[in-house]
């Protein structure tokens, strides 16, 4: 399959996944104002809602080791598009929203998203390693995902203020169908079952010290309890930001993220090696994260959103690229899903911890002091990456020499 067709496939798939984000800001307000949840309770809801992202390796095993009709990718894409479509239509038809059915259907939506993402990543690793284009393909994926924030950011804010929640769910149901359409360009020839080779490849990966070192770096680097639910409550209750302004921030973050992905796709391997970018993710990431302490109003929010939208994506792509290059043949989707599950576990724990701590610290010290404490925890976790980074970089150098 040509690189152009693969690029289009990744772009369409991630555009559809990203546009599902149009429900997230309205959903945050539904939890806060409609159901009356606190920051901690909302964080728990989000934790359960996003729980399927922690199960990515299981979905990877499904596509790597359980082909349907002898095919490992396209049939799973069809299932991935059907589940969220039906769940969102069901949500659009509910007469009122209660905690349990809302949570159950949002979990179903994310099951479809996770399966689609895992299949797409399996194709990316498979074809990207063969053509030495894992970094470029991931830049396309993440760049497209952040580009959708341009629409879902302002769009989500506007929808929150003007459109009933069921209409928003109905609109979102359109996008999963695009995932199925994107799979029509994929060549997915029949393949024999390779369970023995799959398992051998995964066992080999877990015996590699670089796997554990990189997983720990990902876990620590991605842990920032201020981001997510705590930040939303800080923005709305302490800083007084409204839906449209929060949507604008998402849009600006999306634009900055697109630029970060474009820069990574252009300069990685040409100007900077993936190892040098990974070093910068820790050496520059820790002091930069202290700038969150100046998150005090609309101007600082805009400037910091632009800065971290760019650097966050640029640095994150280096870790994702290292993960892709470390995946063994015959278990591409599963291995990459394991690394991405580490990202998700970190975000999951970070968001839940942040919501609970924000509630407790706000009651004791005040909203800004609570937010600042969470920001400092995130900085400390990034600093801790330094002790593990040399093992990852040495592994990186061997990977680059093998190329």
Tens digits of per-residue pLDDT, 5-16? 788 888 888 899
The pLDDT profile of the chain, 403 residues, written as one tens digit per residue, is: 567 778 888 888 889 988 988 888 889 889 988 899 888 888 889 889 988 888 888 888 877 777 676 676 777 888 888 899 999 999 999 989 999 999 999 999 999 998 888 888 888 887 777 777 788 888 888 889 888 877 787 777 788 878 889 999 999 999 988 887 777 767 766 665 566 777 787 888 888 888 898 999 999 999 999 998 899 999 999 999 988 898 889 889 889 999 999 998 887 766 677 878 888 888 888 899 999 999 999 999 999 999 999 999 999 998 988 888 888 877 778 888 889 889 988 988 999 899 899 999 999 999 999 999 999 999 999 999 888 877 776 655 444 444 4
Pick the CATH number of 3-180+195-402 from 1.20.1250.20, 3.30.470.10, 3.40.50.300, 3.40.50.10490: 1.20.1250.20
Tens digits of per-residue pLDDT, 57-92? 888 887 777 767 667 677 788 888 889 999 999 999
Instruction: Report how far Cα 385 is from the mean position of its chain's Cα atoms.
Output: 20
β-bridge partners, 272:
268
> How many beta carbons lie within 10 A of that of residue 368, not counting itself?
15
Note whether 274 and 396 are within 8 A (CB): yes
Strand segments, DSSP code E, in 42-104 are none
329 token code pair:
């043949």
Minimal CA–CA distance to 223: which of 345, 393, 316, 322? 345
Instruction: Report how far Cα 297 is from the mean position of its chain's Cα atoms.
Output: 26
Q: Cα torsion at 13, 17, 19, 21 (round to 10°)? A: -170
269 DSSP 8-state letter = T
Cβ contacts of residue 296 below 8 Å, gap of 6+?
239, 368
Cβ contacts of residue 164 below 8 Å, gap of 6+?
none
């Amino acid at each position: 399959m040509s690189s152009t067709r693969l690029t289009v496939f990744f772009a369409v798939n991630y555009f559809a996944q990203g546009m599902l984000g149009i429900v997230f800001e309205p959903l945050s307000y539904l939890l806060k104002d409609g159901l009356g949840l606190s920051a901690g309770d909302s964080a728990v809801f989000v934790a359960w809602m996003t729980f399927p992202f922690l199960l990515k390796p299981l979905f990877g095993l499904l596509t790597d080791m359980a082909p349907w009709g002898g095919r490992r990718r396209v049939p799973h894409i069809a299932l991935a598009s059907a589940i969220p479509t039906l769940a969102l239509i069901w949500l659009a038809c509910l007469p009122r929203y209660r905690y349990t059915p809302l949570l159950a259907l949002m979990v179903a939506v994310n099951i479809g998203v996770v399966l689609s993402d895992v299949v797409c990543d399996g194709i990316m690793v498979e074809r990207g390693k063969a053509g030495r284009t894992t970094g470029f393909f991931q830049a396309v994926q993440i760049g497209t995902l952040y580009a959708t924030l341009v629409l879902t950011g302002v769009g989500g804010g506007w929808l929150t203020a003007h459109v009933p929640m069921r209409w928003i769910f109905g609109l979102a149901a359109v996008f999963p169908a695009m995932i199925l359409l994107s799979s029509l360009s994929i060549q997915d020839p029949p393949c024999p079952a390779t369970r023995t080779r799959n398992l051998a490849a995964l066992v080999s990966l877990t015996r590699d010290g670089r796997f554990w070192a990189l997983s720990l770096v990902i876990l620590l680097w991605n842990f920032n309890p201020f981001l997510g639910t705590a930040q939303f409550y800080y923005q709305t209750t302490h800083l007084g930001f409204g839906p449209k302004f929060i949507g604008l921030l998402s849009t600006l973050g999306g634009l900055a993220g697109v630029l970060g992905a474009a820069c990574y796709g252009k300069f990685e391997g040409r100007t900077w090696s993936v190892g040098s970018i990974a070093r910068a993710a820790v050496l520059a990431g820790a002091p930069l994260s202290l700038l969150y302490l100046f998150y005090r109003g609309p101007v600082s929010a805009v400037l910091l959103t632009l800065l971290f939208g760019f650097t966050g994506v640029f640095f994150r792509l280096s870790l994702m690229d290292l993960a892709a290059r470390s995946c063994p043949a015959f278990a591409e989707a599963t291995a990459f899903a394991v690394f991405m599950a580490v990202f998700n576990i970190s975000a999951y724990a970070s968001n839940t911890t942040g919501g609970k701590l924000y509630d407790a610290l706000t009651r004791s010290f005040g909203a800004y002091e609570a937010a600042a404490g969470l920001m400092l925890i995130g900085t400390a976790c990034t600093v801790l990456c330094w002790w593990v980074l040399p093992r990852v970089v040495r592994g990186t150098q061997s990977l680059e020499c093998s190329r």
